[in-house]
Amino acid sequence: MKLEQLSINLYTLRDQLKTPANFVAGIARLSAIGFRSVQLSGVADDLLSPAEFQRVCQDHGIAITATHAPSDKLLADPPACVDRLKQLGVTQTAYPYPKDIDLSDLATVDRWLENLESSARTLEAAGITLSYHNHHLEFTKVGGKTVMEKIFTQTTLAGELDTYWVQLGGGNPLEWVKRFADAGRLPLIHLKDVRITAKGETQFAEVGAGVLDFAPIIAAAEAAGCQSFIIEQDQTYGRDPFESVAESFRYLKDNYVD
């Protein structure tokens, strides 16, 4: 991957980016670490105007390459999502979470997927790709198939595969990366590692500090033309999140950046 493709989901730093001043300072700190791109997620939409988000990032040599759009708004008002993405100058976004969707009910899931597909087509007509960001719950079964399987087969959404959550759901991260990659549907990937504690519990880990083998995962994503390799760590367990993302950044830069 290229350095500009190595990104960070700002959701990881959500508690450090709650005011305009914090956002400016945080982007400056990410730039000092070496980041050249971010995913705008986990930050209040009204914290700054779209133009101000762009300006702050550009002032520190950082591009906004993707976002997470609100789940309910993507379904209810995709044109409004298009307007905001256009203002941000972004052509990649993701549906972040199946909010208020009963994934145990087949009819509900099928209607939801029809609505997601409709939203994806609206965004596509505006030159924007809608991806699906998975968690572990998409690996539950409904109607004899996992919800993840139904997302892949019943929609044309791209994948923003989250390696941690695929693993936690009982899936194989490499197999799912290859599946979306082979279909030309993997513009984004969340690189998130899994730590197993001495008590046998799972934790979010800095990339390279856990049990996942990222070499084949990254190779498969690269071969498919993945555009953004996005670090994300939902929790850092008391450690400064900037230190955690810096560790992940150094690991990926040293081992996978051309």
Which CATH number fits the domain that encloses residue 43?
Answer: 3.20.20.150
Q: Model pTM greater than 0.95?
A: yes
With bands split at pLDDT 50, 70 and 90, how would you rate the model's confidence at 1?
Answer: very high
The whole-number average pLDDT for the span 78-99 is 98
What pLDDT does residue 119 have? 98
The whole-number average pLDDT for the span 243-250 is 98
With bands split at pLDDT 50, 70 and 90, how would you rate the model's confidence at 60?
Answer: very high
Q: Tell me what the pLDDT averaged over the chain comes to.
A: 98
Residue 189 near residue 160 (C-beta atoms within 8 A)? yes
* φ, ψ dihedrals at 66, nearest 5°: -160, 165
The structural domain count of the chain equals 1
Domain span at 71:
3-256
Residues 75-86: pLDDT tens digits? 999 999 999 999
Nearest to 186 by CA among 46, 42, 66: 66
The whole-number average pLDDT for the span 87-93 is 98
Residue 191 near residue 214 (C-beta atoms within 8 A)? yes
For residue 216, give both structure tokens: 């084949």
Separation CA 53–CA 43 (nearest Å): 10
Residues 101-128: pLDDT tens digits? 999 999 999 999 999 999 999 999 999 9
Extended beta strands in the chain, E state: 6-9, 37-40, 63-68, 92-95, 129-133, 141-142, 145-146, 158-162, 188-191, 193-196, 202-205, 228-231
What pLDDT does residue 39 have? 98
The whole-number average pLDDT for the span 162-169 is 98
What pLDDT does residue 149 have? 98
What percent of the chain stands above pLDDT 90? 100
What pLDDT does residue 72 have? 96
What pLDDT does residue 153 have? 98
What pLDDT does residue 114 have? 98
What pLDDT does residue 256 have? 98
